[in-house]
Amino acid sequence: MNRVLASAFMLAAMAGPAAAQSLTVSVAADVRSINPGVNRDDNTDDFVLQMVEGLAGYDEGGTPGPLLAEKIDVSPDGKTYTFTLRKGVKFHNGAPLTSADVLWSWNRYMDPKTDWRCLTEFDGRNGLKVEAVEAPDANTVTMKLNAPNALFLDALARTDCAMAAVIHKDSVKPDGSFDKPIGTGPFKMGEWKRNEFYTMSAFADYVSPKGDGKIDGYLGSKRPLVKDVKFLIVRDPATVKAGLLSGAIDMGGILNSDVDELRKAPSLNVQVGTNAVRHGLLIQTRDPLLKNVKLRQAIAAAIDYDELVSAASADLAKPNNSPLYPGSSYFGDVEKQGFKYDPAQAKKLLQESGYKGETITILANKRPTAVSFPQAVVAQSMLQAIGIKAEIEVLEWATQLDRYNKGNYQMQAFSFSSRFDPALGFEQFSGNKDKQPRKIWEEPQALALIDKAMVVADKAERQKLFDELHKRYIAEVPMIFTFNGVEPYALSKRVKGFEAWQSKQRMWEVTLAN
């Protein structure tokens, strides 16, 4: 009996660790689809964008630049973009990349039947319209816009649009339905077993934008150096920890609260990246109580940002009150000036506001990966310290999101997804509440400045616009940004070259020692 048991357990142990050069990465959820930019979420984009590429992509700082294009020329009137394709780029099926492929992919995205997530960004419904796409020769593509637009390249590079990825026409079946992504990315589609795992394998003929080994967002060196990668779906953070410690998982995202513990594990390294996600406290500026700017200023002055951020991020993040991500090239001295923690001033402002002890309710959710609840708890105690009666109402995430969309709240501890361009970062929470109740900031002059930043292309001029917007936001306190997202990963010490960036688990330039 013992012999049978021993052999059973030996076989079981063999089933655990991954073979050399095959990397096992834990992810918390399955991908929604493998069709670029269709039925997607962040997790889906992360996987798909290892296999496909677009004409433009983001660099490390979130600025769009040429990816499948070697260069991008803009006409003097700002309405025509000319993309010259890189030479020698191949699809996963061996076919060379030509302008005809770009045209075919674009037409497919613009067909409503494709259900591309970003169709409305380019068909004129949101202002920008691509009026004509042409291929004057096999190596050149031109796109003509209805009007100059400072955000056109950013829209093309957006990860939720799957970079408007250029895929080969064999990616779809003869009946037009999607089959699998045949792209030009460093990895090829492997196997997808729903709710268990999905895999990708190295594309041997991949032509990297820059071959110097230095990664730079989606634009730098992107060599696939491991044979294949298996993304294993593990929902429970405790199981992820056990998998990492046992060696069954080579790397995976971990909870902020697990960082200290896993840093002590001899077989693991821990890496903490940051991203452009913005955490903060939303304020309903049409609330009878909170429409009072003095009260909002009192709230902003009552919060000790160092303490709140330390508590909410397990001491991993630094405060940032700006709607801009600190990695942005527009994040300057003005953006560094945030709200000032000043309890005495907060009490004075509170008195001036005429506050009479009314209850302010802060909505929050308890998702393990969100910082909503800890932020709400710390903010509540700080508001109570200056005499504001604050209560927390914990909701399930979908319900909280519903209340956000309807504008039905006083305050919320909430997070906004990444926006690289500052104009989009401001636009995300600004607008007319009559038309979109989820919008927070509706001050007309601020909206006019944002509209201008959407069109103006000159960097210096845009910087002035963003500085002005930042100052207004600090003065009017339509909401309070507190800090940017942190993303801790634990990695086996055998894994080298991984750099966490914007919640994307880029597997290029990553190696795995035997």
Q: How far apart are CA 254 and CA 247, in angstroms?
A: 15
Convert residues 161-200 into a mask of x (bound to other proteins by CB under 8 A) and - (unbound). ---------------------------------xxxx---
Convert residues 436-455 into a mask of x (bound to other proteins by CB under 8 A) and - (unbound). x-x-----------------
CB of 117 to other proteins, least distance (A): 8
Instruction: Annotate 223-232 with b (16+ C-beta within 10 A) or e (fewer).
Output: bbbbebbbbb
Contact call for residue 373 and other proteins (CB under 8 A): no
416, 426, 483, 498: which one binds other proteins (CB under 8 A): 416
Q: Alpha carbon of 173 to those of 29, 36, 118, 155, 238: distances in Å?
A: 27, 15, 22, 28, 41
- Hey, what are 478's tokens? 């339509």
CB of 71 to other proteins, least distance (A): 30
- Quickly count: other Cβ atoms within 10 Å of residue 314's Cβ: 18
Contact 271, 500 (CB under 8 A): yes
Contact call for residue 110 and other proteins (CB under 8 A): no
- Hey, what are 500's tokens? 């966490």
Q: Given the complex with other proteins, which of 41 and 212 has the nearer CB atom?
A: 41
Contact 224, 210 (CB under 8 A): no
137, 170, 205, 236: which one binds other proteins (CB under 8 A): 236
146, 351, 359, 399: which one binds other proteins (CB under 8 A): 399
Contact call for residue 16 and other proteins (CB under 8 A): yes
Contact 182, 65 (CB under 8 A): no
- Quickly count: other Cβ atoms within 10 Å of residue 183's Cβ: 31
Convert residues 51-90 into a mask of x (bound to other proteins by CB under 8 A) and - (unbound). ----------------------------------------
Contact 52, 181 (CB under 8 A): yes
Q: Alpha carbon of 70 to those of 66, 83, 209, 315: distances in Å?
A: 6, 7, 9, 42
- The angle formed by the CA atoms of residues 309, 314 and 319, to the nearest 5 degrees, is 20
Site residue total, other proteins (CB under 8 A)? 50
Contact call for residue 232 and other proteins (CB under 8 A): yes
138, 354, 397, 445: which one binds other proteins (CB under 8 A): 397
Q: Given the complex with other proteins, which of 104 and 192 has the nearer CB atom?
A: 192
Contact call for residue 417 and other proteins (CB under 8 A): yes
Region near other proteins per CB under 8 A, out of 13-21, 77-85, 183-191, 309-317: 13-21
Q: For residue 292, give the 3-state DSSP assignment.
A: coil
Region near other proteins per CB under 8 A, out of 134-142, 326-334, 400-408, 468-476: 400-408
DSSP 470: H
CB of 41 to other proteins, least distance (A): 8
Q: For residue 53, give the 3-state DSSP assignment.
A: coil
CB of 158 to other proteins, least distance (A): 10
Region near other proteins per CB under 8 A, out of 52-60, 62-70, 241-249, 458-466: 241-249
* Beta-sheet strands, E only, within 109-153: 130-137, 140-145
The secondary structure of 69-85, three-state, reads: EEEEEECCCCCEEEEEE
Q: How far apart are CA 5 and CA 297, in angstroms?
A: 68
Contact call for residue 19 and other proteins (CB under 8 A): no
Contact call for residue 1 and other proteins (CB under 8 A): no
- Quickly count: other Cβ atoms within 10 Å of residue 197's Cβ: 19
Q: How far apart are CA 90 and CA 225, in angstroms?
A: 18
Region near other proteins per CB under 8 A, out of 26-34, 266-274, 343-351, 498-506: 26-34
Provide the binding-site residues for other proteins, judged by CB under 8 A.
Answer: 8-9, 11-13, 15-16, 26, 29-30, 32-33, 39, 41, 120, 125-126, 160, 194-197, 232-236, 238-240, 242-243, 245-246, 248-249, 396-399, 401-402, 404-405, 416-417, 428, 435-436, 438
